[in-house]
Structure 1
Amino acid sequence: MIYLDNAATTKPSKEALQSFNQVSETLFYNTASIHTGGRESARLLEAARGQILKELGMINHSLIFTSGATESNNIILRGMIERKLKFGKTVLVSELEHPSVVNVIEQYKDQINLKFIKTTQQGVVDLDDLKAKLDDDVILVSIMALNNIIGSVQPIEEIGRILKYYNKVYFHVDATQAVGKVKLNYSDVDALTLSAHKFYGVKGAGALIVKDMNVIDAILLGGGHEKGKRSGTVNLPAIVAMAKALRISNENLEEKNDRLEKLNDLVREHFNTYKKMKIQKKHSPYFINLSFVGAKGEIVVNALSELGLYVSTTSACTSKSNELNETLFAIGNRADVIEGSIRISFSQSTASEDVNALIKGLDTVYNQLGDILHEV
């Protein structure tokens, strides 16, 4: 089996699993306990918190641990909309957002004025459109740092500079796909969300990072864990594993990405002349989005699965939806291109042998589909 669906979830690294197991065996205590074991666990928790903030360049922010980005997105978006409705009603969201952002915000559609920021054909937020939509009624802007369908990196630092002139605006960034793939400047971001399992940590651990903890209302009441914002015994083994996974994924990141660039280019160069295949523009080296025009993406995914190659259609969180993918639609693709699209996503451990097998498998399926396909 060759796994190339890393945007959905990554395999935990050996180092992260070792940390998880070691903490589970030796520091299984409740971090709120006042005995020696509890205090040692609490110190380790704070060390992990500090390490994650340092790795992300956000040492002036605060962090609470959650179960993952979906929970973090729900906490911050629900909380900020409800808190800021008395100051304005307009919420700006990119067209590229994950369902855990869009679906939350749409719950308030009768109370807010929801506007979507246009996307350029390169898959990047249109900054001119953002500026045109900004006014004194805007209370929240939410932008995904790295798109989960085509891998386009958004100009987070530039957006942060623009939003500085609008005091009412709260700037949220979903960095779920960006962390461990690209280093960005998040210093002007008010809130950032992430999930450990996207960068070789274990499932069930995530974080909500905020500039001002005072704006976050308590979401789980109980024993006062996580600065009183999210009570409940913390998942210390998974949190320590997350900190370890982040540090390791960031090590020599430029070299790792250069290697993946070459592997990504191998696929693109091989299929560049295939007239019945559409390959989306390259952004992050971790992503290839291509379409078998005239077929359904699900058919291609299943056919590749039979060959031992695991990829996906769009994102795992929307792959069972019958709607056209919003990202591919926003950048101007035809319906048949979108319907035939698959997402291939590499990890830092993806090898040249994996990519050679992928190319062979894609060729096999392309030939099998034959007359079903048509030119772009």
Structure 2
Amino acid sequence: MIYFDYSATTPMSSYALETYNRVATDFFANSRSLHNHGLESDDILSLSRKTIADALHVNSNEIYFTGSGSEATFLSLTGLAFSHQQKGKTIITTEGEHHSVLQAMNYLKNFGFTILFVPVNEFGQVTIEQLASTITQDTILVSIAHANSEIGTVQDLQALGSFLADNDILFHSDCVQTFGKLPIPIDVLTSISITAHKCYGPKGVGAAYLNKQVPWSSFLHGTTHESGFRAGTVNVPGIAAFAAAIEEYLPQAPSDMKRLLAFRNKVVDEFKGNRHIYFEGHPTERLPFHISLRISGIEGQLAMLEFNRKGFAISTGSACRVGESAPPRTLISLGRKHHEAHELIRITFGRYTTEDEVIKFIKAFKQILLEFKGFDGSE
């Protein structure tokens, strides 16, 4: 089976796995314990926090470890909203955000917050004009993902963040798909969410960045772990493996993104002239390893199962949406009809993808088109 679902999760690198095993074996103590073993675990935690902070060019005391990117998102958004509600109770986001953002928004509605959805252009991007027209006098917070996991479009966070800063509005971004792969303009962001398993680290580990100049509220009052940000004994081995994965991959990422972009272009060039195939998302301002497309008349789930039968693991969108009958919200927000949105499939490459695998995928794609549509993709 050839794995082309790197936006859902990535395999742990050998270095990250070795780090996890060593820390779990030799530094297993609770990092809050005051004996020598606990102090050693706390040192590992501090070093790991510095590694993640350095990768983002922020201070170590601005990084808070969590159990996932989704948890980091929920705690960041609720913590900022409750802390600043005296200034206003309107929050802006997009219809195409990860479900963890939308879950947080739905939760905040119960406490009197108003949630507004800013429109996006044909590629799923938020423009300054669209954002300016959505902002109200009591808007306190905006949450827009750096990159959309379903269509791959990358937002211009620098421009959006500068505009929001000029209007004294907090800015959170889900950077799960971009951390360790693309530069993140942290200087214009109040908060971001990241996770280990999208960048060759373990599952069950995430982190939030929160600007130390901006107040936030603890979700569970009285919590002492992670400076009150999150309750529960800290997963030191997982966090160490997260740091190891980033430390290893970060220097490789620029060249790897160029390599994966070439693979993406190879696939797109093979099929872009076909009137039955529609590529979604921005053609250039996007995740370089990500392909989002629709085959007219073929449901995404059927296409995914056929690729699986031919030995390729792809997806129909966000793995967090599996089991839902509703079409991808991102495509609906772009104006796609329900049956069109259900046609979405996503192919994502990663550090272990080879050119030979991409060539095999193109051949399998042509076979599927011939079997189901009576053409091989060259029309």
> Which of the five TM-score ranges fits, normalised by the shorter chain?
over 0.9
Q: Please state whether the residue corresponding to 1:92 is helix, strand or coil.
A: strand
- Cα offset for 1:88? 1.4
Alignment partner, residue 320 of structure 2: 317
User: Which shows bigger deviation, 221-230 or 263-272?
Assistant: 221-230
- Cα offset for 1:45? 0.6
Partners of 1:122 and 1:331 within 8 A in 2: yes
Alignment partner, residue 269 of structure 2: 269
User: Which shows bigger deviation, 212-221 or 103-112?
Assistant: 212-221
User: 2: CA distance between counterparts of 1:17 and 1:338?
Assistant: 38
For 1:149, give the aligned amino acid.
E
User: Which shows bigger deviation, 275-284 or 343-352?
Assistant: 275-284
Alignment partner, residue 292 of structure 2: 289
Partners of 2:69 and 2:176 within 8 A in 1: yes
Alignment partner, residue 303 of structure 2: 300
User: 1: CA distance between counterparts of 2:79 and 2:190?
Assistant: 13
Number of residue pairs matched by the alignment: 374
Alignment partner, residue 46 of structure 2: 46
Alignment partner, residue 160 of structure 1: 161
- Overall identity of the aligned pairs, in %: 29
For 1:362, give the aligned amino acid.
F
User: 1: CA distance between counterparts of 2:202 and 2:137?
Assistant: 42
Alignment partner, residue 184 of structure 1: 184
For 2:350, give the aligned amino acid.
S
User: 1: CA distance between counterparts of 2:226 and 2:138?
Assistant: 33
For 1:58, give the aligned amino acid.
V
CA RMSD of aligned residues (A): 2.3
Deviation string 1:309-337 (CA, Å, 9 cap, x unpaired) is 00000111123222232222333434443
User: 2: CA distance between counterparts of 1:157 and 1:336?
Assistant: 35
The answer to whether 1:327 aligns with 2:330 is: yes
- Cα offset for 1:260? 0.8
Give ranges in structure 1 of 5+ residues lacking alignment: none
Give ranges in structure 2 of 5+ residues lacking alignment: none
Alignment partner, residue 211 of structure 2: 211
User: 2: CA distance between counterparts of 1:109 and 1:220?
Assistant: 18
For 2:158, give the aligned amino acid.
E
Alignment partner, residue 129 of structure 2: 128
For 2:89, give the aligned amino acid.
K
Alignment partner, residue 106 of structure 1: 106
Q: TM-score, normalised by structure 1?
A: 0.93
User: 1: CA distance between counterparts of 2:148 and 2:223?
Assistant: 37
User: 2: CA distance between counterparts of 1:188 and 1:292?
Assistant: 38
User: 1: CA distance between counterparts of 2:339 and 2:203?
Assistant: 35
Q: TM-score, normalised by structure 2?
A: 0.92
Alignment partner, residue 117 of structure 2: 116
User: 1: CA distance between counterparts of 2:34 and 2:154?
Assistant: 45
Partners of 1:193 and 1:207 within 8 A in 2: yes
User: 2: CA distance between counterparts of 1:188 and 1:339?
Assistant: 35
User: 1: CA distance between counterparts of 2:225 and 2:102?
Assistant: 29
Partners of 2:79 and 2:219 within 8 A in 1: no
- Cα offset for 1:177? 0.6
User: 1: CA distance between counterparts of 2:318 and 2:229?
Assistant: 30
